[in-house]
Structure 1
Amino acid sequence: MKVIHILNAIEYSGAEIMLYQAAGVFKENKIDTTLLACYPNPGKFEQPMREVGYHVDSVGAEGAFTLFANLFKYFKKNKFDVVHIHSENYYVWKVIILKLTGHNNIVRTFHNNWEFTGWLRYKRALHRNIATWLGVKNHSIGTAVQLNEEQVFFNKSIVINNWIKLNPDLLSRRETVSKLKREELGIAPDTFVMISVGGCSYIKNHGFIFDLIPLLNQAGLKVCYLHVGTGDDEPAEKTLSKKLGLDAQVIFTGNRKDVPELLLLADIYMMPSLFEGLSIALLEAMYYNGLALVNNAPGLANVIVDKKTGYVIDIDQPQNYVKFIQDVAGGAINATNIKAAAKAFVEDNYVVEKNAAKLIEFYKQ
């Protein structure tokens, strides 16, 4: 089976990381996979994707009409059994081009709890429903996204949960790995480490963590913020860190291939996002770190069950964040049961082998 995934660019983001981790499953099922970038620059994750066996192509161009022409030429020349669209941009026009070039088995994945407002919301709803009428099969990455699609865009979809690749052997070496990684990054053993993993954008709301650090300093805590990921807002975030005098307490790692190891060294995973779909980073944090503190926001509060699989505190309450982190650092909160429940939750619902197999069956329907 020949399958192509249409993406904006091939970056270190949720959909691409899932595809990267599922490469072995697709190979075992004899699926020949191509990734197609629609931006002029294919993206920073291109080479690792090639290394795990994917073909990578690009039709990227400046301007919509040039992109449409490139897409038409590409799909006229290259035929696929399944075309899987991940990107929101020009969605219905991509579907029309695919239909005109003889591609009828089209899948669309909805990755986030998009709301949009005004005319844009109605336009996106119209495009979704036209695409469904043209025969596109809709798939959401979790129940929150499925509900959002129904309520906001009147769009029905089936749920196939996101997935991650589990490494229980790494978990068994937690103490050793944590010690080595702290030494590598120059983090003292007695430093309380907060970590976030994700692109730098207003949605991820990393500025909240920067603003939190001075409050934690005033509370007498010795803290470090391990900032994993890059993005358009990274220069602004570095400027904010410097402005607040936090350069000695913030480590910008950029994109890393050893994210699970970094999660093991941290004391807590922080996710103050304004909204999410079903975050791969959060699932990995629940499995490898076990202690996640998230905002009370769509895509987060429905994954983390407060005080059972993690903790949920609204970002409007920064002092509650400070108190909670103080309690964790001081030993007033025993998170042993929380960590075990978070790990079990991921193992029961978000394993790559099981969920990628469900996607393959969806392709065949």
Structure 2
Amino acid sequence: MKVLHVLNELRPSGAEIMLRIAAPFFRENGVECEILATGDSVGPYASVLEAAGYRVHHIPFARSPAFFMAVARFAKRSGFDLVHLHSERGFIGYVLAARMAGLRRLVRTVHNNFNFGGWLRMRRGFERRLAERMGVRFIAIAPGVEQTERRLYGTSPLLIPNWFDSAHFHPVTPEARMVARAAFGIRDDEYVMVSVGNCSVVKNHTALIEALARCTEFPWRYLHVGLEEPGAPERALAERLGIADRIRFIGAVDDVRPILHAADLYVMPSRFEGFSIATLEAFAVGLPALLTDVPGLADIRQYLEGVSYCEPSVDGIATALQPLLQKGAGLDDGRADRSAAIHQAFGAKRGVIAYSALYAQVMTKTAGSSPERGDLVLERGVPVVPERQDTMQSGAKRDHKN
């Protein structure tokens, strides 16, 4: 089975990271994947995906029928059995061009809570329902995303949650914690918070920085992981508030584990999320977390107990931080249980098996018919695929020969 994944510019974000993690598991399941980048440039993460074994192609996006037809002709000419769309931008254009080119096997993953309003909501709802009627199979990456798609747009997506690199993240040991804190020059009494995510209005880091400025009576340190915006406004805010010496802007990193190992708390103050892989990684290391009670983060409740939540405001974050800072620095006793729960629910192999089974279902459906869930079973929103991998692979091969 040969699958083309269509994305925007390739950056170290959700879909790209999951594809990197998934590469060996897709190969195990007989699925050969390639990637088409459609940004103005191919993107900084392209080399990472190529190192993982993907062949990466590039056709710059343009709002014209010629662009969409070029993508469709490329997919057909290259012999792809199925096209997997990851982009919200221009989605219906890809679908219509694919049908005109004779490509009928399309899957679309919705990677965020797209809570559009007004005319845009009506248009996107019409486009989604039209695409579903044309045989496109929709996937939601979190329960909240699934509910948004059903409630606002009238589609019936299958829930296959995001996954993380379950072979790479495990509970931090006292020795690893000590080494990591020493590397950052952190004192034993300092309470260390870490956030992981590129700066944007949605990530809401400014509210966290303003909240921390209200908690200067405590010995804390904040490690900020992720690319900064042009002009570094968050760094400038920390300077104005007089807390720049307590915040370390680390930038993008290849391996976030040492930073998580140094921390006492993972913080994600976002205004909304799709379903945060960075949060899964923090829990897999065993960290407690303070999350905002918003779509995409509130979903964690059904998988993990004992997560602290707050409103995505300066007041809400500051109020929630106070008791955590008062508790002081130290390894949390619940880290092993948290890690085990996340590994159970969001291991990479489990998610890839679910996608591979879905691809096989789409492959074997009559063109234009409405796909059904078939043998995919959900337990608390997590796909459980019965013992059918051999059948899935052989069925896909038979269809390919036909």
TM-score, normalised with respect to structure 2 = 0.83
* One-letter amino acid of the structure 1 residue matched with residue 100 of structure 2: L
Give the aligned partner of residue 184 of structure 1. Answer: 183
1:206 aligns with 2:205: yes
Q: Give the secondary structure class of the aligned counterpart of 1:304.
A: helix
Q: From the superposition, tell whether residues 353 and 158 of structure 1 become closer, same or farther in structure 2 (CA, over 3 Å).
A: same
| In structure 2, distance between residues paired with 1:348 and 1:252 | 32
Distance change >3 Å, CA 324–CA 64, structure 1 → 2: farther
Counterpart of 2:344 in structure 1 is 348
Alignment correspondent of 1:323: 322
Q: Which range moved further: 255-264 or 318-327?
A: 318-327
C-alpha distance 5-205 of structure 1, shift in aligned 2 (>3 A): same
Quote the offset at 1:104 in angstroms. 1.4
Match of 2:84 in 1: 84
Letter in 2 for 1:358: A
Change (3 A) 1:108 1:287: same
1:286 equivalent in structure 2: 283
Q: Distance between the aligned counterparts of 2:284 and 2:306, measured in 1?
A: 10
1:101-137, Cα deviation, whole Å (9 max, x unpaired): 2221110111111111111111111111111111101
CA distance in 1, matches of 2:173, 2:6: 37
Shift of 1:305: 6.0
Given the superposition, is the C-alpha separation of residues 180 and 66 from structure 1 closer, same or farther in structure 2, using an over 3 Å criterion? farther
**2:393 aligns to what?**
none
Aligned partner of residue 56 in structure 1, secondary structure: strand
Check if 1:140 corresponds to 2:147.
Answer: no
Rate the CA distance shift 1:61–1:108 in 2: closer, same or farther, 3 A: closer
User: C-alpha distance in 2, partners of 1:142/1:62?
Assistant: 30
- Tell me, in whole angstroms, the C-alpha distance in 2 between the residues paired with 1:76 and 1:362: 20
- How many angstroms does 1:81 deviate by? 1.0
| C-alpha distance after superposition, 1:121-154 (max 9, x if no partner) | 1111111111111110111112221111101111
User: Which whole-Å CA distance do the structure 1 matches of 2:187 and 2:320 have between them?
Assistant: 23
**Change in 2 beyond 3 A, CA 1:207/1:76:** same
Q: In structure 1, what is the equivalent of residue 266 of structure 2?
A: 269
Structure 1 residue 194 corresponds to structure 2 residue 198: no
After TM superposition, give the deviation of residue 359 of structure 1 in Å.
Answer: 0.6
Q: Is the 8 A contact 1:263 1:289 kept in 2?
A: no
Distance in 1 (alpha carbons) for counterparts of 2:304 and 2:77: 54
Does 1:313 find its partner at 2:310?
yes
Deviation at 1:319, TM superposition (A): 3.7
Query: Partner letter of residue 42 of structure 2?
Result: P
Unmatched segments (≥5 aa) in structure 1: none
Say if 1:42 and 1:246 are closer, same or farther in 2 by CA, change over 3 A.
farther
1:20 matched to 2:20: yes
Is the CA contact (8 Å cut-off) linking 1:139 and 1:160 kept in structure 2?
Answer: yes
Residue 295 of structure 1 contacts residue 313 of structure 1 at CA under 8 Å; is this kept in 2? Answer: yes
Matched, 1:165 2:165: yes
Instruction: Give the % identical residues.
Output: 31
Give 1:198's aligned amino acid: G
Bigger RCO of structures 1 and 2 (CA < 8 A, at least 6 apart): 2
Q: Which moved more, 1:60-69 or 1:206-215?
A: 60-69
Selected match of 1:258 from 255, 259, 264: 255
Cα deviation for residue 362 of structure 1 reads 0.3
Are 1:67 and 2:67 counterparts?
A: yes
Which moved further from structure 2: 149-158 or 340-349? 340-349
SS in 1 for 2:300: coil
Could you say if the C-alpha distance between residues 45 and 307 of structure 1 is closer, same or farther in structure 2, counting changes exceeding 3 Å? closer
**Whole-Å Cα distance in 1 between the matches of residues 219 and 67 of structure 2?**
51
Unaligned runs of 5+ in 2: 362-402
One-letter code aligned to 2:112: N
Counterpart of 2:123? Answer: 123
The answer (yes or no) to whether the contact 1:132–1:138 under 8 Å persists in 2 is yes
Distance 1:346 1:94, change over 3 A: same
Q: How many residues align?
A: 359
Letter in 2 for 1:291: P
Amino acid at match of 2:135: G
CA contact (8 A) 1:269 1:289 kept: no
> How far does residue 43 in structure 1 lie from its aligned partner after superposition?
1.4
